[in-house]
Structure 1
Amino acid sequence: MQTPVLETKPKTDWETLAEEVLAGKKLTKEEALSILQAPDTEVLTLLQGAYRIRSYYYGNKVKLNMIINAKSGLCPEDCGYCSQSIVSNAPIEKYPQLSKDVLVDGAAKAKESKAGTYCIVMSGRRPTDKEVDNVVEAVREIKDQHNMKICACLGLITPNQAAKLKEAGVDRFNHNINTSASNHKNITSTHTYDDRINTLNAVKEAGMSPCSGVILGMGESDEEIVDMAYALYEIDADSIPVNFLNAIPGTPLESMKKLGAIKCLKALALFRYINPTKEIRISGGREVNLRHLQPIGLYAANSIFVGDYLTTDGQRTQWDHEMIEDLGFEIEECAFDSEPPVLNRDK
């Protein structure tokens, strides 16, 4: 009896592709899609290629970020993933903006946790001028006491508010695109995808570093994940938080299934191959989606959040420190980059 011959798809040489990225190559959409759809048996070689890029620009350093939820709930937006939105029935703590002193104390705790970036995050569609002024006062005091990198995430801001934040010392402003332009209507109806892009443009015009990322696992296709990675390339976001949906009971997306750890690793590799010079941060939902494979994600990403998130718990900061140490990596406690890495984007 003749033994059947199994046809196998030729394997991609991921390390060669990584070298081409380092030489300035921009992946085609077909190449990008092949990363997400690579056989699971290739995930280690895929991550080896991603690590080649990551190590070229960042070595084995890991940047830590810590969040303070400066205003919780009370949000008129209908984002389906969010426990703080008006359509959520999740039993969360709700409170108005925290005082300046509480925000300053939070920065001290972030520094104790070896976080180089302190993230002040507020719920709501857009901040009032009074809320912005409170953040401005807190930032000035934090800069004076701790000289930390500050990232603000306050919603849809005006150019005038952006200028105030920049003048006060806010280094970075986060406003995630969250999903692809084509999937946006399935996630929220109270603001548009263009509203988010316009805010990021205001951030850049004010001279703040743009931070923008995604939440994966909200029903998007592989093609839409690729679209997100390219959108962030075009935005030229300096920092890209990659969140994985933590389906919170009481939210419209509470029944969504987890992506699975291997798919999450492929997604992290994708964002590294397409945005090679950028800070790629493993963000919300890593504990429940990547689970025991969290450390491997740092072969593609070079940053994580430590501590708790907005309304969900993170793992113990000590565990994150140990995870980084066990990998043979090093926490980058310095708040500021001397020279940001540059890629030839014209090739």
Structure 2
Amino acid sequence: MTEVRHNWTQDEIAEIYHSPLLDLVYRAATIHRENKDYSEVQISSLISIKTGGCPEDCAYCPQAARYNTGVDVHAIMPKEQVLAAAQKAKNGGASRLCMGAAWREVRDNRDFDKVIEMVQAVNSLDMEVCCTLGMLTESQAQRLADAGLYAYNHNLDTSEDDYKRIITTRTYDDRLQTLEHVRKAKISVCSGGIIGLGETEADRISMLKTLSNLPKHPESVPINALVPVKGTPLADQPRVSVWEMVRMIATARIVMPKTVVRLSAGRTEMTTLEQAFCFMAGANSIFAGEKLLTTPNPSFDDDMAMFELLGLTPRKAFKNGRPNIPKELKEMSINEVI
């Protein structure tokens, strides 16, 4: 079995990343097949529970208040609407629901209380619950854990050196500190990045180095291709090629062999054949459903047809065990949490 390492060097990862493409994919596919469930793909659904009006200046994001992108600002979604979306996602084959809010950081207020209630409610559907809400304190992370949160997404986006070009309203250390708080609360960590921001290949390699050298590898690493949005500073960025995505996925698979690597934003531009290459290279998770927060995404029906063609099977929820949540919460019925 492949050794799980936390001491990768920039040069070692660069050598992997720049190896001949077919050799790279073969190596990644071999490592992926050391796991007997290599054909199993986790299906997640991502919904925006609070849209737009974010004070951050992330250069790629249509939800930043300072950019004119045509995204309407919506207050936090009612719990009943979240539950309906979760049930629809589950019916479509998703085992995880990720709820995103356009916040810089979580604040201890009524909106956070509502998120806690949503986490409890979605848990009652027997789905893994993930949140991406911005920066978290230790106590907030623990509160989410106590409510039964399974995973928390907080992407690094790019390398530490490139970060200030993309975001100035928070630091790279802020990102890493939130990941520490999530890990300390024993919540599964989901953290990856975006390619196509105008970064160098060295930046991509450096980001993978940071992720792979964390004390524990993230359980999930999303690899996103930038979807340029009119009105953002990166609106005119050229789209990345599928081969760049394949290189990133394959390299991530090799340096983090046990991690779930998610083929995320950018799938609408890919053919089934191109997505198949990504699965061959080690991707074993996708987002399904018509939207990723505010950007288009393939439908559940399209994805199920692709799974059937490629011989892929959806991964069941809680494969790695349920979070340690209070017994009384586990025993609550859906009627009690509504």
Instruction: Normalising by structure 1, report the TM-score.
Output: 0.86
What corresponds to 1:192 in structure 2? Answer: 171
**Change in 2 beyond 3 A, CA 1:142/1:24:** closer
Match of 1:285 among 249, 252, 266: 266
Query: How many angstroms apart in 1 are the aligned matches of 2:189 and 2:46?
Result: 17
What corresponds to 1:136 in structure 2? Answer: 116
Instruction: Name the % identity.
Output: 32
Instruction: Confirm or deny: 8 A CA contact 2:272 2:306 kept in the other structure.
Output: no
Q: Deviations over 1:293-319 (max 9, x none)?
A: 112101211101101101111012111
Match of 2:13 among 32, 45, 58: 32
What corresponds to 1:179 in structure 2? Answer: 158
Match of 1:272 among 247, 253, 269: 253
Query: How many angstroms apart in 2 are the aligned matches of 1:55 and 1:148?
Result: 26
Instruction: Confirm or deny: 8 A CA contact 2:53 2:65 kept in the other structure.
Output: yes
Match of 1:162 among 141, 156, 167: 141
**Aligned to 1:298, what secondary structure does the other structure show?**
helix
For structure 2, the residue ranges without an aligned partner over 5 or more in a row are 323-338
What corresponds to 2:310 in structure 1? Answer: 327
**Aligned to 1:227, what secondary structure does the other structure show?**
helix
Q: Deviations over 1:252-279 (max 9, x none)?
A: 0011111211121111111111111101
Residue 87 of structure 1: CA displacement?
A: 2.9
Query: How many angstroms apart in 2 are the aligned matches of 1:278 and 1:131?
Result: 32
Correspondence 1:18-167 to 2 at 5 A: 22-24=2-4, 28-38=9-19, 42-57=20-35, 58-129=37-108, 130-144=110-124, 146-167=125-146
What corresponds to 1:294 in structure 2? Answer: 275
Query: How many angstroms apart in 2 are the aligned matches of 1:167 and 1:119?
Result: 17
Instruction: Confirm or deny: 8 A CA contact 1:82 1:251 kept in the other structure.
Output: yes
What corresponds to 2:296 in structure 1? Answer: 313
Q: Deviations over 1:155-195 (max 9, x none)?
A: 11121211111001001111111111000000011111111
Where in structure 1 do 4 or more consecutive aligned residues deviate above 4 Å?
23-28, 289-292
What corresponds to 2:225 in structure 1? Answer: 244
**Change in 2 beyond 3 A, CA 1:191/1:279:** same
Instruction: Confirm or deny: 8 A CA contact 1:260 1:290 kept in the other structure.
Output: no
**Aligned to 1:150, what secondary structure does the other structure show?**
strand
**Change in 2 beyond 3 A, CA 1:292/1:60:** closer
- What RMSD, in angstroms, separates the aligned Cα atoms of the two structures? 1.9
Instruction: Confirm or deny: 8 A CA contact 1:261 1:291 kept in the other structure.
Output: no
Instruction: Confirm or deny: 8 A CA contact 2:268 2:296 kept in the other structure.
Output: no
Query: How many angstroms apart in 1 are the aligned matches of 2:112 and 2:297?
Result: 27
For structure 1, the residue ranges without an aligned partner over 5 or more in a row are 1-18, 340-347
- Paired residue total: 315
Q: Which amino acid counterpart does residue 306 of structure 2 have in structure 1? A: M
Query: How many angstroms apart in 2 are the aligned matches of 1:139 and 1:263?
Result: 35
Correspondence 1:221-260 to 2 at 5 A: 221-235=200-214, 236-260=217-241
Q: Which amino acid counterpart does residue 293 of structure 1 have in structure 2? A: E
Instruction: Confirm or deny: 8 A CA contact 1:75 1:124 kept in the other structure.
Output: yes
Instruction: Normalising by structure 2, report the TM-score.
Output: 0.88
**Aligned to 2:157, what secondary structure does the other structure show?**
coil
Correspondence 1:202-217 to 2 at 5 A: 202-217=181-196
Q: Which amino acid counterpart does residue 47 of structure 1 have in structure 2? A: V
Deviates more, 1:288-297 or 1:219-228: 288-297
What corresponds to 2:328 in structure 1? Answer: none
Residue 205 of structure 1: CA displacement?
A: 1.2
**Change in 2 beyond 3 A, CA 1:50/1:128:** same
